[in-house]
Amino acid sequence: MVAPMSRTDRGRQGSGGWAAFAVAVLLLCVLVAAIVWQGSRRNGGLLVYALDDAYIHMAVAKNLVEHGTWGTDPGAFAPATSSLAWPLLLAAVFALAGPTDAAALWLAFGSALALLAAARRELARAGTPPLLQLACLVGLVLATPMPALVVTGMEHLLHATLTVVLASLAATRLASESEPERGRLAASGWDLGGIAALAVATRYEALFLAGLIALTLGWRRRWRAALAVAAGSALPVVAFGLVSTAHGGLFLPSSLLLKSAAASSLHGLSSWSLLAGWYARVAYTPELLVLLLLALQLAWGAARHGRRRDLALGALFAGTVVIHCLLAGVGWLFRYEAYLVGLGVLAVLEPAARRLGEELAASGPPARRWLAAAAAVLALLPLAVRAGQALARAVPATGNVYGQHIQMARFVRAHLEGRTVALNDIGAVSYLTSAHVVDVYGLADVEVALARLSGSFDSAWLASHAAARDVEAALVYEGALGGKTPPGWHRVGAWRLGRNVVCGDDTVLVFAVRPGSEAALRAAFAQFARTLPAGVQARLD
């Protein structure tokens, strides 16, 4: 039996924990500042985000403030983003300070600090020694990976924060023998339901964890709490669905339907394809596989020794990993699974490190201690590789966005301002110009989304759709065209990134779409090509 800590020991642990938190915050600040500074030097002195999706959020927020419309085009509703909370937060900043490019960066950085604070609280609650707290918080900064996610300017760190808070509170509630006696929110379960609502509004993947919590509470006959979590997690989905369908959109955001693993092939979907996709996504992210196996092992040990909270937290984490890899995507600058890695560091690595310390301190054959140390190195290796790759790709990713999406916005602003253009990456052009955008991928165009989901999208369909929308020019990837060049489209040029680490394709093709516009667009592209940044190659057709 472990002796209870004295008041002096708790004070030392608390002060040591805050020191660990301060070191982790300092590391985060240094890495983010270095990435932003190097990116600015590389990108003509501009703050450039590592993904075009950040500009989609900013375009929605800008239109919400200036035109009262949820969408990327002024006055036109479009379910273009799966996050509901992030554009609302950006809109609040824009309403107070005006549209500013740095708003997304500061919100993402604040979310990173909130995640560290939530993690520090969880580690202190578990009685984690200060040095182990430091290791966990530094690991959280590097492996999530916080610096790269901050410069995406998106909601993934806020989602990770809410995930940690929700899972921690739910594990505590599930480990108790009875309902909380104090506090109306706790007694009714609406503290859990409220956090679940915020998490789902931030990213729909929070439904996986919230669903597991609701089912487990129901199994434990905690009916009020189970219903509160179910209702809270359903609230943002239903609210957006009603608003979207009332404006001619789909019940779910187009980005969710088009990008999710399960919905990307609604026609012909089978159990085998789901399982094959699950295996491919787990193989692509070995860090999740390692964390999952450790979680199962630790949950088994917790069940044997009566550590109910550790069992609940490990089981919630493991179940969420399995469901996410079955139904959702991974990768794309480490962001889709970031909330799982963040939760895994606390739910799995912290108790695993404690157990490793016990093994190393225990008397016994040296071979056993060496084996335990080797197992720890092998377990941490995928997370170390993830951290290194994220730091190495962050600045080049901003350079990719600058060389491709920012240049698309420059070209449109200089030669197609106020006209209708077809794009497959719509963020920077929508946010930085006043052009009308036809989204050939379908995030901001419901007709395109329906055509892609039904399997009727091809080059002929795209040509007809563009003609009906009076599209003058298209700046698209070859793979977005439905198999071949749409009838009546004439390519006038292209530009290509030198080293692509984040864009869907390294080459943007420029097409004249409206009859009679080819000569003027060719001349405009020839003039523009001379102004492209170093490392970007242009070709005039």
Q: Are 338 and 149 in contact (CB under 8 A)?
A: yes
pLDDT score for 5: 44
pLDDT score for 298: 86
Token couple for 119:
């993690």
Q: Go through 112-146 and write b for each residue having 16 or more CB atoms within 10 A of its CB, e for each that does not.
A: bbbbbebbbebbbebebbbebbbbbbbbbbbbbbb
**Beta pairing partners, 491:** 511
Coil, strand or helix at 537? strand
| pLDDT tens digits in sequence order for the chain, 541 residues long | 333 344 445 444 445 678 999 999 999 999 999 999 999 999 999 999 999 999 999 999 999 999 999 999 988 899 989 899 999 999 999 999 988 999 999 999 999 999 999 999 999 988 888 888 999 999 999 999 999 999 999 999 999 999 999 999 999 999 887 666 556 666 567 899 999 999 999 999 999 999 999 999 999 888 999 999 999 999 999 999 999 999 988 898 988 888 765 454 444 556 677 777 788 888 889 999 999 988 888 888 888 888 888 899 999 999 999 999 988 889 889 999 999 999 999 888 888 777 766 666 666 667 666 666 676 777 789 999 999 999 999 999 999 999 999 999 999 999 999 999 999 999 999 999 999 999 999 999 999 999 998 889 999 999 999 999 999 999 999 999 988 999 999 999 999 999 999 999 999 999 999 999 999 999 999 999 999 999 899 999 8
Consecutive H or E run containing 536: strand 536-540
For residue 327, which of 255, 269, 279, 262 has the smallest C-alpha distance? Answer: 262
pLDDT score for 297: 86
Q: Are 120 and 20 in contact (CB under 8 A)?
A: yes
Cα–Cα distance between 287 and 145 in angstroms, integer? 12
